[in-house]
Chains A and B, each alone.
Chain A
Amino acid sequence: MTANITGNTARDATAADGTRQTAGTRGTSVVLHDLSRAFGATKALDGLSIDMAPGELVALLGPSGCGKTTALRIVAGFEIADTGSVLVDGKDISSVPAAKRDMGMVFQSYSLFPNMTALDNVAFGLRMRKIGTGDRRKRANELLEMVGLAPQAKQYPHQLSGGQQQRVALARALAIEPRVLLLDEPLSALDAKVRLQLREQIRTLQQRLGTTTLFVTHDQEEALSMADRVGVMSHGKLEQIAAPDELYDKPATAFVAEFVGIMNRVPGELHSGGTVTALDKTVPVMNQDADVSPGPADVLVRPEGLTMAVIENGNGIVATRTFLGSVTRVGVLLSGDVTVQVDKPSTDAAALAPGTSVQVTLPPEPVLVAPRR
C-alpha cells in the first residue's frame, strides 16, 4: 500500500459490509532501527529495534517512563532520535516532517478540533490533501459510519462523550488512509466499559483495513488482547517482543514475567546442574542463561501453576480468598512470611477457609528463576 490517498476509502467502507481482503495483504512494513534518545541525563530510548510486518499490530507495553511513548513520537515525527532510523516500506523517513508522513494518530487526550463538527474533524485530513468538498464529505461520512457515529456527524466535540470523541479521532486518523496507524494510549482516559468496547472496535477495524499499527499502552490486558505481538519495554530497552501467549507462558526475563500477569516469587535454592529446589520439590530451570548464581534464589511461578492440597501440618496456611468468577484466587502464607497466590476452580475453593493448613507444590515443568530479592 502506498501513500496514494485517492479512491480507497470508499472501497474500505464497502468492505465493512462483508467482502474483505485478508489482513496483511496490504499495509506497510515499518522498521525501527537502533533508536536512541536522551533527555538530559535520562535515556528515554536505548537502542530500540523493532520490525513490523505489513498489517501487523504491535503493542509497546511498559511502565511509565520506559520510553514507549518516545518511540511512538519518533515514528510520528514529533520527536527526533539522537541515533537510529525509522524505515517505512524500506525508506528512511527520518528527515520527513510529521505533516508529510501519512501517519494517522490517535492521542491519549481528546484531540478533536473544538471549532469543527465531527464530520469536519474527520474530513480535515482530506481537506489538507486538497480533495473536493463533495468527495471529502462522502468519505468522512463513510468513516463515521464505520465507527458507528453517523448520527453524530453534525455535533461538536463538546457534545460528544469521551468514548465518542475517541471514535471520531480514530475515524479522523483512518480517513487519510494512513500508511501507519499510531495509537498513543487512546483508551486510558475512558471508563472500563467503554474501553472494552472501543478496544474490540479498534482491533476489528485495524484487521479489516490491514493498517500496520503501533500501539502504546501501560495496560497489559489491553496489549495482550489486541496485539499480534507485544513488546515489553523497560528503561528504554526492549525486554522481549513476542505473541501474547508466548509472552505469558515463556517470559524471557524476570521483568517480563512479573510485568505481564500475576507472578509469585517463591524462595528456593538454585543448584549448579540447572535445577532448583523450592516448596520441598526440585524442578528444572527454564532460563538457564539468566544471571543467577547457585545458592538462594527466587522461583517465579504463576498462580495457576501452583497446586495446593488440604493437609494437616502443610507448608502453608490459607490467608485470603478472592472470588474471580470461575476461579478463586487463594492467598497462602508460607513459612518465612512469604505470601503466594494460588488459583483454584471456585467449586474446589469452598473447602479453603482462611486458617486451613495446605500443602503448596511447584509444577513439574521447568520454572523461571531470578536473583533473591
Chain B
Amino acid sequence: MAAIADTQVVPAPPRRTARPRADRGAVWRWVVLLVAAVYFLLPLLVAFRFAGIKSFGSVLSQSGFTSSLGLSVRLAIVTTVIEIVLMLPTAIYIHLRLPGLRRLMEGITILPIVIPPVVLIVGVLQISPGALKNTPYLLALEYVILAMPFAYRAIDAGLRALDLKTIVEASNSLGAGWLNTLMRVLLPNLTTGVLAAVVLTVALVLGEYTMASLALYQTFPVWIYVNSQYSGQISVAASLLSLLVTWLFLMAITMIGTRRSRRKGGGAVTLFTATRQETRGN
C-alpha cells in the first residue's frame, strides 16, 4: 500500500519570522472597523455635542413636531402597504413564470435611484390630476417608486432562498389555489424578505426631503430643515432622535426576523440576504 506512505503528513518546519497569518488578519479587521467607526460615529458625536442634552427635551414641545411626524408616519404606512402589495406578487410571478426577465427587472428597479428625485417630483406635479395634487398621499405614490429598488431586492433575496417552483407545485397538488398558496405557504416563508422591504421603505419615507419640500408638504425631514432656521440645536436634536428611532426599528426587525428564521432552520436575517435552508444529510 504505497499510497498510504505517500500521503503521510510531513510536519511543517516551524515558522521563525512574523506572526501567524490569522493574527495579522485580525489586526487588519480591527483597523478597518475602527476607521469605519470613526467615519460614521464622529459626525454623530459632534452633532450630539452641538445640540446639547437640553434641546432633546424641548424637541417634543416644538410647534409642528407632532403634525409633521404624524404625516411622515402616515405616509410611511401607506407607502409600505402599496409597496408590498405591488412588489410581492410581481416578484413571485417573475421568479415563477418569467425567470428570463429577472435581469431586466433588476435593471428597471434600479431606475428610481438613477433618476434624480427632483426630476421625478417635478414631472409628476406637472401631469398629476388636481385631486391627487391636493393631497399629501401623492407623495406616498412617489415614495412607492423611490422604495422600489430596495423592496424588490429584499423580496428577491427571500425568493432566491426558496425552491419556489417545487413548493408552489406541491401546494397546488394538495389542493391549494393561488390565494392559499400565497398566504399560507409563500408569505410565511418570505417573512424575512418582506420585513426587510418594510424596514427599508419606512426608513426611506422617514428621511426623504427633496420631494416633500418641492411638493410643499411639511413632512418630518422638511420640518427639521425649516426648524433649523430658528434653532439649529433643536433641529439637530430632532434628526438625531429620528435616527435613533429608525435604528431601533431596524434592529428590532432584524432580531425578530432572525429569531423566527432560526427556529425554522433559516440563517440570520440581514436586509439583503436570506440564507438557503440546509438539510442534514440523508
Residues of A within 8 A of B (CB): 76-78, 97-105, 107, 109-115, 124-125, 128-129, 156-163, 165, 169, 172-173, 176, 182, 190-191, 194
Contacts and interface: CB of A to CB of B under 8 A. Distances in A.
A104 to B, nearest CB: 7
B175 A111 contact: no
B189 A99 contact: no
B169 A105 contact: yes
A113 B280 contact: no
Contact of A107 (B170, B263, B282): B170
A121 to B, nearest CB: 9
Contacts of B281: 161-162, 191
A80 to B, nearest CB: 14
Nearest to A124: B174
Interface core residue of A103, A115, A158 (most chain B CB under 10 Å): A115
A156 B265 contact: yes
Contacts of B188: 113, 115
Contacts, number: 104
A159 B166 contact: no
Interface of B: 162-163, 166-167, 169-177, 180, 184-185, 188-189, 263-266, 277-282
A115 B189 contact: yes
Nearest to A110: B279
Contacts of B167: 111, 113
A78 B175 contact: no
Contacts of A159: 265, 280
Contacts of B163: 109-111
B282 A162 contact: yes
A8 B78 CA distance: 49
B238 to A, nearest CB: 40
Given A113-B185, A156-B263, A158-B277, 20 more contacts: A99-B175, A99-B176, A101-B173, A107-B166, A111-B169, A113-B170, A113-B188, A114-B162, A114-B189, A114-B264, A114-B266, A128-B174, A128-B176, A158-B264, A158-B265, A158-B266, A158-B280, A160-B279, A161-B279, A162-B281
Contact of A100 (B166, B175, B265): B175
B267 to A, nearest CB: 11
Contacts of A191: 281-282
B175 A125 contact: yes
The 3 closest A-B pairs by CB, nearest first: A158-B265, A125-B174, A128-B175
A113 B189 contact: yes
A158 B173 contact: no
Given A113-B167, A114-B264, A98 B280 contact: no
B166 A111 contact: yes
Nearest to A191: B282
25 contacts: A98-B169, A98-B172, A98-B173, A99-B176, A105-B170, A107-B166, A107-B170, A109-B166, A110-B166, A111-B166, A113-B167, A113-B170, A114-B265, A115-B185, A124-B184, A125-B174, A128-B176, A129-B175, A157-B265, A157-B277, A158-B265, A158-B280, A160-B280, A190-B282, A194-B282
A158 B278 contact: yes
Contacts of B266: 114, 158
B28 to A, nearest CB: 35
Contacts of A99: 172-173, 175-177
Contact of A163 (B162, B265, B282): B282
Nearest to A172: B174
Interface core residue of B166, B170, B177, B278 (most chain A CB under 10 Å): B170
A317 to B, nearest CB: 29
Interface core residue of A97, A100, A105 (most chain B CB under 10 Å): A105
Contacts of A157: 265, 277, 279
B282 A124 contact: no
A176 B172 CA distance: 12
Given A98-B173, A104-B173, A129-B175, A114 B277 contact: yes
